[in-house]
Amino acid sequence: MDTAQIRIVLVEPSHPGNIGAVARAMKNMGLHQLVLVNPRQFPDPEARARASGADDVLEGAHVVHTVAEALQGCGFVAATTSRERDQHFRIADVRDAAARLALESARGPVAILFGSERAGLTNEQLEAAHLLVSIPASKAYPSLNLAMAVQIVVYEVFRIGGVAVDPAPAAGPLAEPADLERLYTHFAAVLEEVDFRDRTQSGTHLMARIRRFLQRAELDRNEVNILRGFLTAVQRRRRRAGEG
């Protein structure tokens, strides 16, 4: 495991105290990469007070405007959620997810997404995730405070660092979210060109389903290039046929 490759991303945190508590939890567990997406108040004295000595984590935090910016350079992406999602997302218990994050950090940067205190992560914000992290809790009240959720996840990541795990597979780095977005845009364009459409009643799910199964495939950069090369070949063949 390479803790320097593990990035904690807070999406639209609303309470500066939670940001400080997250920084403290991270430093407790040997993590230092904190990225904030559109925080409501930061920097803020309350964040520093709640950090309780983890000032270096706060000072090193990067503030960005979009999830795409927060994930730049990352390969494997996990996201936390307390809500039930449809069956097309791959979901793992927090302990299993931590083991996977530890493995993937050995071959490139990884990120763990946490949503806002009020609403969590939207489906759109989850699109870049390869895995959803489930934290077991009482069904009567499963919603965790943001800092508590981060503490549990980073503890499990820290814990797995002291447990023997199988080495990461010898493979190239996973494709970055930006590479995947270009693939999905290319895919959608080709579907439109060949008139391959969603035939369901709502007619809106086809591309979402394609995105989900390709996310589950965890494509590396070469595989993305192969698929885009194939899509380009389809487009060229259609153009030649049209000219004829």
For the cut 90, the answer to whether the pLDDT of residue 65 exceeds it is yes
Q: What is the pTM of this model?
A: 0.80
Q: What rounded mean pLDDT belongs to the chain?
A: 89
Determine the Cα–Cα distance for residues 207 and 203; give it in Å rounded to an integer.
10
Quick check: 219 and 175 in contact, CB under 8 A?
A: yes
Quick check: 70 and 114 in contact, CB under 8 A?
A: no
For the cut 60, the answer to whether the pLDDT of residue 170 exceeds it is no
For the cut 70, the answer to whether the pLDDT of residue 67 exceeds it is yes
Per-residue pLDDT band for 139 (boundaries 50, 70, 90) equals: confident
Per-residue pLDDT band for 158 (boundaries 50, 70, 90) equals: very high
CATH of domain 3-160: 3.40.1280.10
Q: Output the pLDDT for position 173.
A: 81
Q: Do the bridges between strand 77-80 and strand 131-134 make them parallel or antiparallel, or are there none, so unpaired?
A: parallel
Instruction: Give the residue extent of every domain in the chain.
Output: 3-160, 177-243
Class of the CATH-defined domain 177-243 = mainly alpha
Per-residue pLDDT band for 10 (boundaries 50, 70, 90) equals: very high
Q: Output the pLDDT for position 47.
A: 97
